[in-house]
A and B are shown apart, each in its own frame.
Chain A
Amino acid sequence: MSLDDLYRETIMDHNQSPRNRRSLEHPTKTVGLLNPTCGDQLKLDLRVQDGMVVDVGFTGHGCSISMASASMLTEAIKGKSTDEALALARHFKAFLTGTPSPVNLGDLEALQGVSQFPSRVKCATLAHNALEKALSQD
């Protein structure tokens, strides 16, 4: 497994110019998560209206994998229903353990190499865990 397989161009791109990296003014849901093994922090803000994710933003600090993954996730779920967003998170996590995804994962597919590095899976799924936690709030 070479470094280029892990750090694909798409990941480097999202890491260097993250999408939706901002706090929302009026989020309807906010979740902060810590990656306890490295101290990385991520805050995910969502604006959910009528079951749709109308806006999403993230802030925090972390490695290139966690930041790129958060950036990709926000791009993928904006405008989707909360059910679709949750399904995406679920399929993405299964994808990292080698299960092909039935839905299009978009840029998130570039994170496939992470599955070869078990210690980095936590990084790649931090934002997805935050999303699941946020959408399970009432």
Chain B
Amino acid sequence: MIEPLVDVSRDFPIFNRRINGYPLVYLDSAATSHKPEPVLAAMDQFYRHSNANVLRSVHTLAEEATTAYARARETVSTFIAATDPKEVIFTRGTTESLNLVARSFGDQFLRAGDEIVLSPMEHHSNLVPWQQVAKRTGAVLRYIDLADDGTISIDAVRRVISPKTRIAALSKISNVLGSVNPIVEVADLVHQVGGVMVVDGAQSVPHEPTDVMAMNADFLAFSGHKMCGPTGIGVLWGRAEWLAQMEPIAFGGEMISYVDREMATWAEVPEKFEGGTPNIAGAIGLAAAIDYLTAIGMDKICHHSQALGEHAFDALREISGVSVYGPRRPHAAAVAFTIDGIHPHDIAQVFDSKAIAIRAGHHCAQPLMQWLGVGSTARASFYFYNSSNDIDRLLDAILETKRFFQR
């Protein structure tokens, strides 16, 4: 029996809901996680008690808001073991973070013929920005070959890395295959040829301890909403020496130093990249989420996520007519599967009638679907509020789905 790591009904009001007469079984945390009371309370408290814009005024509320926003940046910085909070840029989420690197770093440093190394498992947000920068600069995309179980071997990486590699952009954990990619080793190879390592941490940062220096990364992108924070806040971490050289991409208030009629100069990092009023309450909510996760313990969360992922993988594989994707071990908290002859949308519909929330579709990874040779899959994904009972409900629902469609 794998138990939740927290008192779920106390901390997560949403789990007290019933849907179609059943208690909610939420297996879609890879899409977004639920939000615990302390996160909701922190944001509520900010709006009710300290609401003001940051960096602009000297009144008490503005001081409080500015301090809280700065403290949120420090909390994030400590959580990912960055050397300086200035390396933490607040964005809307992983997508905006990756677009920022591609637009700013990519446009500035890529030349025609330079190579960008990607994998076919990438989420569209770690793929389309690179396609676009390749179009603008004449750079070329090189894809790492996946092994049969969807994993990446160092040999496969070696085959695509060349002296022309300027950027490798890779997810740490796949949102479909649940595979864990060898970032440290890839980063080593990329650094040997003078390139940079961009890590999509959307699925890893919520589930495991993160140390950007140990990871050997140059940039790391992640979203608050997948780690108990609110939507609309995310992070781009980058090495100070790169951020200092990069041009901003959004111009306006709060990102400038001096402006006259003809020209402007930029504020320092990170403000340079945060034009306009930022998502202050979002940053405060994210910091509260990080405090909440840290109190549980990221090591414990990592262990729990993997235990559920591997248990689900093994159990699904036993059911005839069910295909499960990705590696057996280690398998992270996202498990994609299909049932012969039943479309994933129809699976998700039957599941919903039992209040079991899963995702069905291409998971924003169409090239991966093409590689797997399927149009779409169902996906169950877990977080620390799930238990092995939830997996039992999932297995029952699969049998029920088969009965319903194969009658």
Contact = CB atoms under 8 A, between A and B. Distances in A.
A and B: bona fide binding partners:
yes
Interface in B340-359: 343-346, 349-350, 353
Contact of A38 (B345, B350, B353): B345
Given A38-B360, A38-B362, A39-B361, A61 B349 contact: no
B276 interface: no
Most B CB contacts (10 A, CB to CB) among A2, A63, A65, A117 go to: A63
Contacts of A117: 349
B350 A40 contact: no
Contacts of A37: 361
B405 interface: yes
Most B CB contacts (10 A, CB to CB) among A3, A40, A64, A117 go to: A3
B369 interface: yes
Contacts of A40: 375-376
Contacts of A64: 343, 345-346, 405
B376 A39 contact: yes
A13 to B, nearest CB: 12
A117 B348 CA distance: 12
Interface string B247-269: 00000000000000000000000
Contact of B349 (A12, A39, A62, A120): A120
B361 A2 contact: no
Given A38-B362, A39-B366, A63 B353 contact: no
A115 interface: no
A94 to B, nearest CB: 23
Given A3-B350, A3-B353, A64-B405, A41 B345 contact: no
B224 to A, nearest CB: 24
B345 A7 contact: no
A44 interface: no
A129 B343 CA distance: 21
Interface string A1-36: 011001100001000000000000000000000000
Given A62-B343, A64-B405, A65-B345, A39 B353 contact: no
Given A38-B376, A39-B369, A39-B375, A63 B361 contact: no
Interface size range of chain A in the complex = 10 to 19
Contact of A61 (B350, B360, B375): B375
A6 B349 contact: yes
Interface string A55-77: 00000011111000000000000
A3 B345 contact: no
A123 B360 CA distance: 13
Contacts of B404: 3, 7
Nearest to B404: A3
B343 A63 contact: yes
Contacts of A120: 345, 349
Contacts of A12: 405
A39 B376 CA distance: 7
A123 B362 contact: no
Contacts of B345: 38, 62-65, 120, 123
A75 to B, nearest CB: 21
Contacts of A39: 361-362, 366, 369, 375-376
A3 B362 contact: no
A45 B348 CA distance: 30
Contacts of A38: 344-345, 360-362, 375-376
A45 to B, nearest CB: 20
A63 B346 contact: yes
A37 B344 CA distance: 12
Contacts of B349: 3, 6, 117, 120
Contacts of B369: 39
B350 A41 contact: no
A37 B369 CA distance: 13
Contacts of B353: 2-3
A7 B375 CA distance: 22
Nearest to B365: A39
Interface in B310-368: 343-346, 349-350, 353, 360-362, 366
Listed from nearest, the 6 A-B pairs whose CB atoms lie closest are A63-B345, A63-B343, A39-B362, A38-B361, A3-B353, A61-B375
22 contacts: A3-B349, A3-B350, A3-B404, A7-B404, A37-B361, A38-B361, A38-B362, A39-B361, A39-B369, A39-B375, A39-B376, A40-B375, A41-B375, A61-B343, A61-B375, A62-B343, A62-B375, A63-B345, A63-B346, A64-B343, A120-B349, A123-B345
Interface of B: 343-346, 349-350, 353, 360-362, 366, 369, 375-376, 404-405
Interface of A: 2-3, 6-7, 12, 37-41, 61-65, 117, 120, 123
Given A41-B375, A62-B343, A64-B345, 5 more contacts: A38-B361, A38-B376, A39-B361, A39-B376, A63-B343
